[in-house]
Structures are given as C-alpha cells and as structure tokens.
Amino acid sequence: MKPFPNFHSKTFLLCHMRKIIDFYNPTCLNMEDGGYYNEYRDDGFVTDRKTQHLVSTTRFIFNYATAAVLLQRPNCAEVAAHGVKYLDEVHRDPEHGGYFWLMHGREMADTTKHCYGHAFVLLAYAAAMKCGIPGMSDKVSETWDLLESRFWEPEHELYKDEISRDWQKVSRYRGQNANMHMTEAMLAAYEATGEVRYLDRAETLARRICVELAASAQDVVWEHFGEDWSVDWDYNKDDPKHLFRPYGYLPGHMTEWTKLLLILERYRPRDWILPQAILLYETALAKSADLEFGGMHYSYGPDGTLYDLDKYHWVHCETIAAAAGLAQRTGKERYWQDYDRLWRYSWRHLIDHQYGCWFRVLSPDGLKQSDIKSPPGKTDYHPFGACYEILRVLGEAR
C-alpha cells in the first residue's frame, strides 16, 4: 500500500483531481455520436459505446469545466464544450423542451423528464459559464425559466420529481435528492451569474428540506415523500439498493447537505444553518460508522436498523468535504481528525492505485464487488467535486 500523502496539501488535492481527469481523458470523448462514453472497466476500457445518460453528460461537463479553470488546462474547456454541444443538440427535447434522461447514441432511449437530471443541467451550464464557454449565461437563464414553469411547486416551495416527455403526466413521487442537487446547482448558478434569485432559491430549498420537512423525520433528512410532501416511510423498502431512490436514511446525503449548507452560509448567513449542518453530520457518522472494518455504511431505517452495509465511494467523498468545511467553520480539531480518518480509509480501500479513480462500491469488509469502475452516472464527479470544495475551504480555490 502506498504511504499516506498529506491530505491537507493543495499539491495533493490538485494532483488527485488531475489523476481523475487523466483516467477519463481523452478516452471519454465520443467522436462518433458526440458527448461522452459512459461506462468504464477498472483499467479504463470502454464497455458500453452507446449509452449516454443525462447525469453522465452533465457531470463530465462539470468536471472538465472546473478543471479548465482550477488545473489551468485549456483543452479541458474544449472537452466541456464538446459535452455542452451534445447536451444542447441531443439530450434537449426539440419538440417539448427539457432534457431526455437517457440516449442510445443519438436516439432517444428514455424521454422522461427528471428534476434530478435537470438540476445537473443547470450545474453543467453554470460550470461552463465559469470557464468562459460562450452562450452559457443564456443557457443558465433558460434553464431557470424551464424549472420555474415545469418543475417548481410554489405551494410547497419545492420541485416535482418526474414528468412525462410532453409534461402532461406528473409522478406522485416527491424526493429530497432532486431538491438537494437543485440547491447545489442554484449555488453554482449564483456564483456564475451573481444573480440573487439563485441564492434565494438555494436558501428556500435548504430550509424546506433540512428544517421544515426534517421536523417530521427525526429532525434529519428523509429521502422519500408523497405528492403532498408528507413522509413516505415505506418507499422502496423492498429495494434498499435502488440506484437513485434507495430506501431509508442516507448518511451520505446528510453529510452532502452539511457541505451545501456551509456553502450557503458563506453567501447567506442564517442562525439555523450551522447547528443543522452539525446535527446532520453528527447523526450521519453516529448511524453509519463501521467500528469493525472502518468507513461508513450506506443506509439505515427509522428504527436505526442498517439496511445497506456496503461502502459507497460517494458517501466517503461527501463526508470528507463536509468534515473539512466544519473544521474550517468551527475551528474544532475533531473534524480534521474525521477528515484524516476517512481519507485514510479511502486511500486504503476505495482509491485504485493501479489504474486511478475510485471504486464505486465495496462490500462491508472492503472487497471490490465489480470490475466496472464507472457505470453511467459516476464520472468520479463526487471525488473531483469534493477535492474542489476542500480547496475552497482551504482558501486555495474560488
């Protein structure tokens, strides 16, 4: 095992981000259909040359647009622009508006309009705007208008989750995950444009999910709700490993909210933000910590029973970033201790030192479960974004 680096070092964090970019670049470029290849084996071999998921397309754009600025790699802006072109010309529905969930090359495979995916559309355009790709200010504004007209529920001050292609059939399901990523996207849009409406909306979403709805769910973030935003305690209880909507409380989402709340507080200080950020973080670690093998389990039920004991890469990434944010914000050394402990676990088990990037998921005792390192949707956006946020916490990035 490689010796531990200095996880607090700007040099280490930037190097880790470069290695993530280098794993995918230039292999990810789909020059036949446009966009990016979505699925990779551990060694980087492309195992699916047709599937193009909206989440992959937009996350790749975010990664490359951010790399263009932070890593000072101009070619990364070109790779991001390549993805923006596919997003606008292929994922975008020319008849009804909005963006298709899944493409097979340039053909529609799933035309559902998901709020979760549209949150990443806004994030991608905001990141592309930050790196100077032309026309992105208009795209950010257009996406805001689309979200207002199609997904926003003013009576609930939250976004609907899933709608048919023609916008006529709205799913009864409501979820916090889409609204969490919409908060992330709104913060990015505010940073890119300076327009206060994005910050206002981020604050509204954070308050609704982390305070008001949490009050009915043991004061922390529950995942699933009914059409009226009442807690649905049983949704996907028989499918705890569902890719986008797993059952139960997700500690990784609690710490991801901690990270987002601390970003929000930078721009919009509120008395409730820090206490709730700490509560979410502390609850997440208390419920998920694996005292035998290390790391964090994935999910637990309302009675505290663990449902998915596996170790997911993104949970550790988001918690590491949250720990750095709390350490900087509170000045408490114990959060830096969490930061180092989770980095060390990830360094030993989740990071692939042979080929690069992070394994997606491990068994409870740390064994790899598949040789597919990056299925559609992954793109190592979580470790890349976590390093970016840690650099911002350390004052080494904007």
107-110 and 102-104 as β-strands: parallel, antiparallel, unpaired?
Answer: antiparallel
Q: Among this protein's residues, is 82 annotated catalytic?
A: no
Q: Taking a C-beta distance cutoff of 8 angstroms, is the pair 61, 83 a contact?
A: yes
C-alpha to C-alpha distance for 255 and 356, rounded to whole angstroms: 25
C-alpha to C-alpha distance for 55 and 246, rounded to whole angstroms: 17
Token pair of 89 as six digits:
């010309």
- Find where tokens 């559609």 sit: 376
C-alpha to C-alpha distance for 129 and 192, rounded to whole angstroms: 6
Neighbours of 373 (CB within 10 A): 25
DSSP string, 45-113: -EEESSEEEHHHHHHHHHHHHHHHHHS--HHHHHHHHHHHHHIIIIIB-TTT-SB-SEEETTEEEE--E
State which amino acid sits at residue 305: T
C-alpha to C-alpha distance for 362 and 310, rounded to whole angstroms: 6
| Active-site position among 16, 253, 297, 349 | 253
Q: Taking a C-beta distance cutoff of 8 angstroms, is the pair 174, 158 a contact?
A: yes
| Active-site position among 53, 114, 313, 382 | 382
Q: Among this protein's residues, is 382 annotated catalytic?
A: yes
Task: Provide the annotated active-site residues.
Answer: 253, 382
